[in-house]
Amino acid sequence: MSERSNLRLLVLAVLVLSLLGTLVARAYYLQVMEGAEYRAAAENNTVREVAEPAVRGIVLDQAGRPLVANRTTVVVTVDRQVLDQQPNDGAAVITRLARILDTPRESIADRLKTCGSEGAKPPPVCWNGSTYQPVPVASDVDTQIALSIMERRREFPGISAKLEAVREYPAPFNANAAHMLGYLGPVTEEQLEAQGDGDDRLRRTDVVGRTGLESQYDDVLRGKPGITTLAVDTAGRVTGTLEERDPTPGNYVVTSIDSRLQSVVEQQLLAAIRRAQEQDYAGKSGAAVVVEVDTGRILAMASYPTYDPSIWIGGVTKKQFKQLIDDESLSSNAYQGQFAPGSTFKAVSTAAAGNDNFDLYGIYPCPSRMKIGTQVFRNYESNAYGPISLTRALEVSCNTVFYEIARRMWQEAGGPDAEVTAPDPVAESARTFGLGSRTGLDLPGEASGRVASREFKYDNWEAKKDTWCRNAEEGYPETRKTDPKLADYFTALDRENCTDGYQWRAGDALNAVIGQGDTTVTPLQMAMVYATIANGGTLYQPQVAKGIVSPTGDVVEVFDPVVTRRVDVSKKTLRFLRNSLPGVTTDGSGKTPFLGFPLGKIPVASKTGSAQVTGEKASTSWFASYAPANDPKYAVVMMVTEGGTGSKTSGPSVRKIYEALFGVKGQTVNPRDSVLVGGSPQDALPTVRPDGTPVSPKGRGSGVADIRAAGSSS
Amino acid sequence: MSTFMRTDPSVHTLTRQSGYWRDLDWILLIAAVATTIFGSMLVWSASRADMASDSDPQSYLKRHVINIVIGVVLGWIASRLDHRWLRAYTPIIYGVSMFLLVLPFVPGLGTTIAGARAWIDLPGGLTIQPSEFAKVAVILMMAVLLSEKRDAESEPRDKDVLLSLGVALFPILIILVQNDTGTVLILGSVALSIIAVSGARTRWVVGLIGGAVVGIMVAIQVGLLKEYQVQRLTSFINPTADVSSSAYNANQARIAIGGGGWSGYGLFEGPQTQGKFVPVNESDFIFTVVGEELGFIGSVVLLGLLAIVLWRAVMIAFRADDMYGRLVATGIVAWLAFQMFENVGMALGIMPITGIPLPLVSAGGTSMMATWIAIGLLQNIRLHAVRAGV
């Protein structure tokens, strides 16, 4: 090999050696000489996560019509990171932005202040989110304004306009369903503290379902937020983006609610309220429930008074909230209101009589009144029917027949001296039908109602006896100054309560058997009682949600009917009830509202109720029913407080609901005229297209003008 | 003597059969294996954070090991190839390699990774980077051209120098278009080194160095212009992104390495590495892993292992029994040395940031295979020289 080649190879070798030497020297400089400095920098190097909320899932009715949807709105956001780098912290930019948005400069400035910082307004004005998250300062911004902001980037550094999804209530057929749907509100401090620290955790800026389906199925609807991980230096400046994850939109909740039926039920509840008011009764509140007897699925559930759910979009003002509270419209009377069931309870009492071996086919005297001690218990309008069958007693709602049954039960149990644990067939029957406990409805805040019993009375006395005894001792000195007679009366009452207020007296038993006194139920509970009688004794857990569908159209979950229990009532007794209750509609207290209804084709089993409530002028109007009586499908219950009789106020509305359900026109019954598409509730979950648009019935059944527009914005 | 050996196939075959394992450069082999194992450990440390959420957090490491196995097998084959065979087929190897280099431009085949369009998609999610094989092909082709038709004492003819220059310039231009500046610099250094060691006239060497300096200056000018345009472009799309990613990467890499100090945070313990602050730290920025987790000591050990590989390669070049072997070995020395310097120098903040892997260390299948082929070729040249009795 030539000398030249050898020499040049040597030069290359020396060059390579020097390159290596350079690297070692540089590493020594960085790691050993300046190592401490860089170590400090590494320790100050931190990450910040910016979460982008996912598009929330929507809520569909049983036919696929959106009950809760999303609409997009243009939101203008301000990135404070960028703004702070502008001269004078971007004051000029804010001024320009205020001018173009036509809002006061201060309102934007207030919005940009972090909650808890100096001069910050209380939430929701101040910013509750991360420093690194752009702050929304205006929503529902005109598209033209948004575009001009985007075009003039140089004038608006850090300002951007983006589309954001907000809740929308398409209200197909004007169905309101506000209580079932629920609403969204800012996440609470307790919720934030109670959770783990996974990527999908709630953030301070998140909204969550506060009531109704929005709350019950919040985790289904919420989806997963998109997370951008930013590298941040000691000064809080963003130095880079480490990771980006797109949000996963939330799933859809499919309900068994039919919006068209819901609309009919709401209108009919309102009609019943009007009917009460026309009779000069207060008709303050009411509720109606339609449930499928073989599944426990809720097809419609209405409560009066109600509110417009869209009031919650973007948060309510203090004034609006106060109005909602004053109207008592926030809670649903259907499952959160507790009312004396009145004579609708007699079905339960009849089951109790059957269980206690009373002869269901015997003859019982029905005098106009019954005297127990000094107290007189009367029939409605003091009617007397002579000796009648139990079926007839149900038809005409004879109280005295049931009084006699209750009195005998009470005596057998040991009368006034019976143990707290003594048998009480009426209370036991009520409990087996699910009264006195929550039905397990898939909506939060359900009321349990109350079953009057020895146990209840004893517990009540235990809780209150100290007050009663003290009052009896003191003798109401304040009242005595002005009205000694009233003070005497109160003192006597409390003395009696103090000494034997725990006693389950004959009067208590008589009140209980006709659904008066301390027994209270929710209209939903009553609907489940009649559904149970209708289906032959299976108490279902009522459900509003039927399943979950993904925004790409896959069925995620189907909620099968859930059986709470087989009621502890004999088949014979249940058969007796099913044979007797249709007579109420044909020949009894439910006859008038169903005059002209094709009962031959659609027999209706019903029971009216007119419950007396202490302090209220008019009785609570009840109409509990199911149909067709020979092949039961639906149970319908309506209730109006201070509404008058069940037959006059609620009955006609229940009839209209059946007409809508079965497609009744005059004497003809045509399933094609039913408000339910196809004449009955859908078996399958509605189809959702891969783009997230639910497929709803065409034409008459669609309920909204443009179903595509009502779909999700995802 | 060498002439005799080469013209007596029976003796040749016998020697080859009996002496392969004995005559291997064991120091080179052990250093290369040690570097590869060291590298796998770093890849494992760098990728476990990324793969943590994956069903199999070791999937990345497993793929790396498979690449190593394929690379070692290819290297073994390269070490056993007959020189005559290799020289005869070099034009075909070169041709195929250049064809592969052009392939990423075929729509549907190429993948753009980190802005450089230089990958070919294969079924099963695999990608190959043809520019890695191009390095081997250019070295082999130049060595053939500059060692033919002359004895080792004379200087190559101008025609041969020009031709070999063309052999190098063709892929350089393609790779330049592919925006892979790191590989261009390496190929340029390789070409210059081979021409210099071939004994070409001094004016060639001086002229080429001068040309390279001018070329680099022009490239920097062009590069700056591009950077400016890129920034304009990105700021138009996203005005709030005022942080250039290159500056961020360089800064994070320096913080990682500097933070390592003398002995580092310990393997799997580096906050910058495990916190994913340094991008592509299983490949381009792999040196930040050793720097942060094993400190200055670990850095020196890794550089030391690479230095042993280079020392053995230089020795093989010196002891080659013919100009062909010397030029192949020289090309490999230049390739590995400059690629190492560029990669580590970039992590240490003394070289511009380009996307090239650290030979034998970084994850990246094609690079691993090409480097092991190079190790195999070095062994081949050594075996040839031992047999020739040099």
**pLDDT tens digits for range A422-460:** 999 999 999 999 999 999 999 999 999 999 999 999 999
Mean pLDDT across B220-226: 56
Whether residue A229 lies inside any domain: the answer is: no
Residue B52 has pLDDT above 70, yes or no: no
Confidence of residue A79 (pLDDT cuts 50, 70, 90): confident
Q: What mean pLDDT is reported for chain A?
A: 88
- A595: how many CB neighbours lie within 10 A of its CB? 9
> In total, how many domains does chain B have?
1
Whether residue A604 lies inside any domain: the answer is: yes
Contact B277 A45 (CB under 8 A): yes
Confidence of residue B29 (pLDDT cuts 50, 70, 90): very high
Interface test with A, best of B335, B341, B343, B351 (most A CBs within 10 A): B341
Residue-number span of the structural domain to which B299 is assigned: 2-30+49-200+243-388
Question: What residues of A are in contact with residue B341 (Cβ under 8 Å)?
Answer: 19-20, 22-23
What's the rounded Cα separation, in Å, for the pair B89 and B84?
9
Whether residue A694 lies inside any domain: the answer is: no
Residue B98 has pLDDT above 90, yes or no: yes
Whether residue B216 lies inside any domain: the answer is: no
Q: What is the pLDDT of residues A478-515, one digit of tens each?
A: 888 888 888 888 888 888 888 888 889 999 999 999 99
Mean pLDDT across A214-226: 91
DSSP A463-530: HHHHHHHHHHHHT-HHHHHH-HHHHHHHHHHHHHHHHHTT---HHHHHHHHTT-TT-BB-HHHHHHHH
Q: What is the pLDDT of residues A652-701, one digit of tens each?
A: 999 999 999 999 998 999 999 999 998 899 888 998 988 888 887 765 55
Higher pLDDT, A221 or B118: A221
Mean pLDDT across A270-282: 94
Same domain, A502 and A641: no
Question: What residues of B are in contact with residue A242 (Cβ under 8 Å)?
Answer: 276-277
Residue-number span of the structural domain to which A574 is assigned: 259-310+332-341+521-545+559-679
Confidence of residue B10 (pLDDT cuts 50, 70, 90): very low
- A249: closest CA of chain B, how far (Å): 21
Residue of B198, B333, B344 with shortest CB distance to A5: B198
Whether residue A251 lies inside any domain: the answer is: no
Put simply, whether A558 touches B (Cβ < 8 Å) is no
Whether residue A620 lies inside any domain: the answer is: yes
pLDDT number for residue A215: 93
Whether residue B137 lies inside any domain: the answer is: yes
Whether residue A247 lies inside any domain: the answer is: no
Residue A412 sits in a domain whose CATH number is 3.40.710
Are A35 and B258 spatial neighbours (Cβ–Cβ below 8 Å)? yes
Higher pLDDT, A710 or B216: B216
Are B376 and B138 spatial neighbours (Cβ–Cβ below 8 Å)? no
Confidence of residue A650 (pLDDT cuts 50, 70, 90): very high
Contact B303 A24 (CB under 8 A): yes
Residue A239 has pLDDT above 90, yes or no: no
pLDDT number for residue B7: 43
Confidence of residue A315 (pLDDT cuts 50, 70, 90): low
What's the rounded Cα separation, in Å, for the pair A506 and A513?
11
Same domain, A417 and A289: no
The answer for residues whose C-beta is within 8 angstroms of residue A405's C-beta and 6 or more apart is: A349, A353, A358, A364, A513
Whether residue B100 lies inside any domain: the answer is: yes
What's the rounded Cα separation, in Å, for the pair A54 and A85?
30
Whether residue A210 lies inside any domain: the answer is: no
The answer for residues whose C-beta is within 8 angstroms of residue A93's C-beta and 6 or more apart is: A83, A86, A155, A156, A157, A158, A159
Same domain, A664 and A567: yes
Whether residue B262 lies inside any domain: the answer is: yes
Same domain, A572 and A627: yes
pLDDT number for residue B223: 58
Of the spans A635-649, B90-104, B200-214, which averages the highest pLDDT? A635-649
What's the rounded Cα separation, in Å, for the pair B385 and B379?
10
pLDDT number for residue A437: 96
Q: Are strands A605-611 and A620-627 parallel, antiparallel or unpaired?
A: antiparallel
pLDDT number for residue B110: 58
Residue A606 sits in a domain whose CATH number is 3.40.710.10
Paired tokens of B107: 């729509």
| One-letter amino acid for residue A592 of the chain | T
Same domain, A396 and A492: yes
Q: What is the pLDDT of residues B163-194, one digit of tens each?
A: 999 999 999 988 887 777 788 889 999 999 99
Q: Are strands A59-60 and A252-255 parallel, antiparallel or unpaired?
A: parallel
Whether residue B232 lies inside any domain: the answer is: no
pLDDT number for residue B50: 64
pLDDT number for residue B122: 63
Same domain, A593 and A477: no
pLDDT number for residue B241: 35
- Nearest residue in B to A19, CA atom: B341
Same domain, A375 and A427: yes
Burial class (CB in 10 A: 0-12, 13-18, 19+), A272: buried
Whether residue B95 lies inside any domain: the answer is: yes
Same domain, A672 and A652: yes
- Residues B3-7: contacts with CB under 8 Å, at least 24 apart: B5/B387, B5/B388, B5/B389, B6/B388
pLDDT number for residue B118: 59
Mean pLDDT across A599-618: 91
Mean pLDDT across B111-136: 68
Paired tokens of A261: 């039926």
Q: What is the pLDDT of residues A129-181, one digit of tens each?
A: 767 777 888 878 888 888 888 777 778 888 888 777 788 899 999 999 999 99
Mean pLDDT across A376-397: 90
Q: What is the ipTM of this complex?
A: 0.89
The secondary structure of residue A342, as a DSSP letter, is: G
Same domain, A528 and A424: no
Contact B197 A27 (CB under 8 A): no
Residue of A9, A32, A231 with shortest CB distance to B330: A9
Same domain, A383 and A287: no
What's the rounded Cα separation, in Å, for the pair A502 and A468?
12
What's the rounded Cα separation, in Å, for the pair B71 and A48?
41
pLDDT number for residue A512: 94
Residue B381 has pLDDT above 80, yes or no: yes
pLDDT number for residue B54: 52
What's the rounded Cα separation, in Å, for the pair A350 and A360?
8
pLDDT number for residue B115: 47
pLDDT number for residue A704: 46
Put simply, whether A2 touches B (Cβ < 8 Å) is yes
Beta pairing partners, A164: A73
Distances (CA, A) of A557 to A105, A444, A547, A549, A712: 49, 20, 5, 7, 20
Are A349 and A514 spatial neighbours (Cβ–Cβ below 8 Å)? yes
Q: What is the pLDDT of residues B283-310, one digit of tens each?
A: 889 999 999 999 999 999 999 999 999 9
pLDDT number for residue B4: 40
Are A615 and A590 spatial neighbours (Cβ–Cβ below 8 Å)? no
Residue of B255, B300, B303 with shortest CB distance to A38: B255
> In total, how many domains does chain A have?
3
Measure the CA angle with vertex A471, ends A493 and A450; round to 5°: 60
- B128: closest CA of chain A, how far (Å): 26
Whether residue A190 lies inside any domain: the answer is: no
Residue A712 has pLDDT above 50, yes or no: no
Same domain, A270 and A152: no
What's the rounded Cα separation, in Å, for the pair A300 and A675?
12
- Nearest residue in A to B205, CA atom: A8
Same domain, A433 and A533: no
The secondary structure of residue B115, as a DSSP letter, is: T
Mean pLDDT across A539-554: 95
Q: What is the pTM of this model?
A: 0.66
Q: What is the pLDDT of residues A179-190, one digit of tens each?
A: 999 988 777 777
Interface test with B, best of A3, A38, A233, A242 (most B CBs within 10 A): A38
Of A165, A190, A221, the position where a domain reaches its end is A165
Residue of A4, A13, A42 with shortest CB distance to B256: A42
- B109: closest CA of chain A, how far (Å): 27
Helix ranges (DSSP H) in A246-386: 259-278, 318-327, 346-355
